[in-house]
Amino acid sequence: MEKWQVSWAQNKYWVMSRSQQYYNEIRVLAKENHWDEECQQRYEQILQEIDDMMPTRKTLTTAYQHVWGYFKKQATLEEKQNYQILLKKLEEKNDELGRYLVELTDKYEVKYLAESALIKRLREASK
């Protein structure tokens, strides 16, 4: 896997949690794996811009639904119900669902998610 592919794998849910438009732009950049210096510069610029963006309920919901996909088959009935409750209550300024997804990442030992920028940042924010 190329360096940019590793970076994108780590950052895609973080980007998605902030901007669907930027997420889609990066997907176009990465299309057919024709990555060059111009793509790299734009990618880095997007990552910098994302850091200054506030999430919306819609962008968080989209990202969290993707993350939930890693647990939904093995989650207990109680965990599924809790997810649905927290999803309904989700607000940008009161993000209990993000903290819950960190807990599930740890419980189910999903390495891919644990290494993602989204889960790392949520973990830091909850300290």
The pLDDT of residue 1 is 74
Q: Quote the DSSP letter at residue 94.
A: B
Query: In the prediction, which pLDDT does 93 show?
Result: 86
pLDDT at 126: 83
| Statement: residue 5 has pLDDT above 90 | yes
Stretch 12-37: mean pLDDT: 94
**pLDDT per residue as tens digits for the range 93-112:** 889 999 999 999 999 999 99
In the predicted structure, residue 127 carries a pLDDT above the cut 80 = no
What pLDDT is attached to residue 34? 84
Contact 55, 29 (CB under 8 A): no
Q: Domain-by-domain residue ranges, the chain? A: 3-51, 57-125
Check residue 63 and give its pLDDT.
Answer: 98
pLDDT in tens, 43-89: 999 999 999 999 999 999 999 999 999 999 999 999 999 999 999 99
Predicted local distance difference test score (pLDDT) of residue 94: 85
Provide φ and ψ at 109, rounded to 5°: 50, 55
Q: Mean pLDDT throughout 5-31?
A: 96
pTM: 0.94
Look at residue 33 and tell me whether its pLDDT is greater than 90. Answer: no
